[in-house]
């Protein structure tokens, strides 16, 4: 090999002259520019890459397998999947022993939606090289998108392949897919386990952290959920999903300023997100900036006109602003979109009461009572309406219903709002029902607890008081968990539902002088969970005065 010839002649005439009669030109090696093609391809310099490929294919008359391969990859990136498929197939003909060609054929088939064909080709590729995690991973993905979750066979095949891929090589992608498969087959525990293992393997992957956080949120493990969401935000402070989820948790804890800070970041990243503007709106609402709240909510409504939650909140804010006519429109639109929520009808009834449309208000309450199974506020408000209009019998009936619900909730260790308690007691005395003492004591207890719950909010991550104990949050979450959309918007939504309107009525009954103060925005202490209470009262002077007279 090492022939020490004169180097000059060597360089000038590179072809060895062996003295044969017809000097045959040396044929270029087809692979000679592969490295250059690859170099440009991985640097995403596709234009230059295509030029080189073209040149190379001309030179080799289409024999260069790698050039065709990269050409197909680029075509696929440009969205021409069918063409890329054809090129990959020709690669596979040029070199049938290369599993990469088959893998890419299958990938293109997958992208074209031909999942079954893709699975077959992947199996072919797997025969050439069984130790390839990518083949197993992609097989798992194919099985999981066949969308036949009732078919146990397909699901288990997907799981099997993904697990095989994980055993060969741990990749975040595989973990995510496997988790998704478990979630789709409604096996939440397994999904949590998978994500846990994934987070352990790559602790800085924000997508995994967020997904796990949201999963914990759904399961009601708020401490863990917040931990993971917080971690996700440390690594990527502008992660939209994590911000929304963490923000809504903060909102539920009354930590509105911190939540707003986070939302501001999200608003830069995703400026047209309906749930984000909804949550921002409810933050403003909690801070008593009603006009800002309305404009944010209206933006959310504009962005997503058929979202009943936004409509619900708009109705609520307008009730607070004593714009009953507008509130009525938003609420009736919301009931059209979501006809099975008792609280919505209750709010509608409150609006109607204020619009002096008593017949419809009563009908709306009846609907609310029929639909709601756990919220004593619905019955309380109805009872007040009935009582104020002289229907003591009906009021008593509703009162008994309240007691039933309260007793039911007491078993599950729910804390009640103090104003609700007071009001219910007043109602009891007015109706001359004696046993109200039964639940006054727990009421006082809860009041105390609420006060203390307001304190640790800012240290959510490391607070000694576990988040899970906050029953309000839990309830809000679980009620929200039933819907199929992202978790975040529900949370913020459900918060106002619970406390606001009924409190408004009840406090109105007790102490009318407090009302104007609140309407003008004077801050009240201990506003952790019940920020939006009083304003509607002001608009209901008639109700109040009447009821007072009667009560007195």
Q: What are phi and psi of 129, to 5 degrees?
A: -150, 100
166 binds another protein (CB under 8 A): no
Footprint on residues 450-509 left by another protein (CB under 8 A): none
Footprint on residues 22-61 left by another protein (CB under 8 A): 22, 24, 27-36, 38-39, 41-45, 48, 51-52, 55, 61
Residue 303 C-alpha from the chain's centroid: 17
User: For residues 379 and 492, which CB has a smaller minimum distance to another protein in the complex?
Assistant: 492
10 binds another protein (CB under 8 A): yes
What is the smallest separation between the CB atom of 76 and another protein, expressed in angstroms? 15
What is the smallest separation between the CB atom of 476 and another protein, expressed in angstroms? 24
Binding mask 237-276 for another protein (x = CB under 8 A): xx---------------------xxxxxx-xxx-x-----
Q: Please state, in angstroms and rounded to a whole number, the distance separating the CA atoms of residues 353 and 372.
A: 19
DSSP letters for 410-466: HHTT----HHHHHHHHHHHHHHT-GGGGGGHHHHHHHHHHHHHHHGGGGGGGG-SS-
Binding mask 338-377 for another protein (x = CB under 8 A): ----------------xxxx--------------------
Checking phi first, is residue 308 left (phi over 0); if not, alpha (psi -120 to 50) or beta? alpha
Contacts of 414 (CB under 8 A, 6+ apart): 471, 475
User: For residues 29 and 455, which CB has a smaller minimum distance to another protein in the complex?
Assistant: 29
Give the single-character DSSP code of 24: P
324 binds another protein (CB under 8 A): yes
# residues near another protein by CB under 8 A: 76
What is the smallest separation between the CB atom of 54 and another protein, expressed in angstroms? 11
User: For residues 184 and 265, which CB has a smaller minimum distance to another protein in the complex?
Assistant: 265
CA distances to 85, 114, 150, 319 from 117, rounded to whole Å, are: 12, 6, 21, 58
DSSP letters for 279-318: HHHHHHHHTT-HHHHHHHHHHHHHH-TT-HHHHHHHHHHH
332 binds another protein (CB under 8 A): no
User: For residues 6 and 464, which CB has a smaller minimum distance to another protein in the complex?
Assistant: 6
Footprint on residues 97-156 left by another protein (CB under 8 A): 100, 133
Binding mask 196-235 for another protein (x = CB under 8 A): ------x-x-----------------------------x-
Q: Please state, in angstroms and rounded to a whole number, the distance separating the CA atoms of residues 421 and 439.
A: 8
Binding mask 169-198 for another protein (x = CB under 8 A): x-xxx-------------------------
Footprint on residues 528-547 left by another protein (CB under 8 A): 539
Q: Which stretch binds another protein (CB under 8 A): 14-22, 74-82, 187-195, 426-434?
A: 14-22
296 binds another protein (CB under 8 A): yes
Footprint on residues 375-414 left by another protein (CB under 8 A): none
Q: Please state, in angstroms and rounded to a whole number, the distance separating the CA atoms of residues 279 and 493.
A: 8
User: For residues 39 and 146, which CB has a smaller minimum distance to another protein in the complex?
Assistant: 39
Give the single-character DSSP code of 28: P
Contacts of 339 (CB under 8 A, 6+ apart): none
Q: Which stretch binds another protein (CB under 8 A): 153-161, 184-192, 244-252, 319-327?
A: 319-327
What is the chain's length?
A: 552
What is the smallest separation between the CB atom of 332 and another protein, expressed in angstroms? 11
Contacts of 74 (CB under 8 A, 6+ apart): 41, 46, 49, 50
């Amino acid at each position: 090999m090492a022939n020490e010839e004169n180097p000059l002649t060597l360089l000038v005439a590179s072809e060895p002259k062996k003295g044969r009669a017809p000097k045959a030109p040396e044929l270029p090696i087809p692979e000679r520019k592969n490295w250059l093609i690859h170099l440009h391809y991985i640097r995403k310099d596709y234009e230059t890459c295509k030029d080189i490929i073209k040149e190379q294919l001309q030179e080799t008359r289409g024999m260069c397998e790698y050039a065709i391969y990269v050409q197909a990859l680029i075509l696929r990136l440009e969205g021409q999947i069918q063409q890329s498929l054809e090129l990959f197939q020709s690669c596979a003909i040029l070199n049938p022993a290369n599993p990469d060609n088959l893998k890419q054929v299958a990938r293109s088939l997958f992208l074209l939606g031909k999942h079954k064909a893709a699975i077959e080709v992947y199996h072919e590729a797997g025969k050439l090289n069984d130790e390839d995690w990518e083949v197993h991973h992609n097989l798992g993905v194919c099985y999981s998108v066949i969308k036949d979750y009732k078919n146990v066979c397909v699901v288990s095949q997907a799981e099997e392949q993904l697990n095989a891929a994980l055993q060969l090589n741990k990749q975040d992608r595989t973990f995510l897919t496997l988790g998704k498969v478990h979630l789709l087959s409604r096996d939440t525990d397994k999904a949590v386990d998978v994500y846990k293992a994934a987070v352990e393997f790559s602790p800085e992957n924000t997508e995994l952290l967020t997904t796990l956080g949201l999963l914990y949120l759904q399961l009601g493990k708020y401490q863990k959920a917040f931990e993971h969401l917080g971690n996700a935000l440390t690594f990527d402070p502008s992660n939209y999903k994590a911000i929304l989820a963490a923000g809504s948790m903060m909102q539920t804890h009354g930590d509105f300023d911190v939540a707003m800070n986070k939302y501001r970041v999200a608003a830069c990243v995703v400026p047209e997100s309906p749930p984000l503007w909804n949550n921002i709106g409810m933050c403003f609402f909690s801070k008593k900036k009603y006009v800002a709240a309305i404009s944010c909510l209206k933006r959310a409504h504009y962005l997503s006109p058929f979202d009943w939650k936004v409509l619900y909140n708009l109705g609520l804010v307008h009730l607070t602003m004593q714009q009953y006519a507008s509130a009525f429109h938003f609420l009736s639109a919301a009931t059209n979109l979501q006809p099975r929520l008792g609280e919505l009808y209750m709010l509608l009834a409150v609006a109607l009461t204020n619009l002096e449309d008593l017949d419809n208000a009563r009908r709306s309450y009846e609907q609310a009572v029929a639909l709601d199974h756990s919220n004593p506020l619905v019955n309380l408000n109805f009872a007040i309406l009935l009582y104020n209009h002289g229907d003591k019998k009906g009021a008593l009936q509703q009162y008994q219903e309240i007691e039933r619900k309260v007793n039911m909730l007491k078993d599950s260790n729910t804390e009640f709002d103090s104003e609700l308690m007071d009001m219910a007691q007043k109602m009891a005395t007015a109706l001359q029902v004696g046993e109200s003492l039964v639940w006054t004591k727990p009421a006082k207890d809860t009041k105390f607890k609420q006060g203390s719950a307001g304190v640790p909010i800012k240290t959510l991550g490391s607070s000694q008081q576990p988040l899970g104990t906050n029953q309000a949050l839990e309830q809000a979450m679980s009620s929200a968990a039933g819907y199929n959309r992202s978790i975040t918007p529900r949370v913020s939504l459900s918060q106002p539902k619970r406390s606001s309107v009924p409190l408004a009525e009840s406090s109105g009954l007790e102490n009318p002088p407090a009302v104007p103060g609140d309407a003008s925005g004077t801050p009240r202490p201990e506003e952790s969970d019940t920020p939006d209470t009083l304003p509607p009262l002001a608009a209901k002077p008639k109700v109040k005065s009447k009821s007072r007279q009667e009560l007195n």
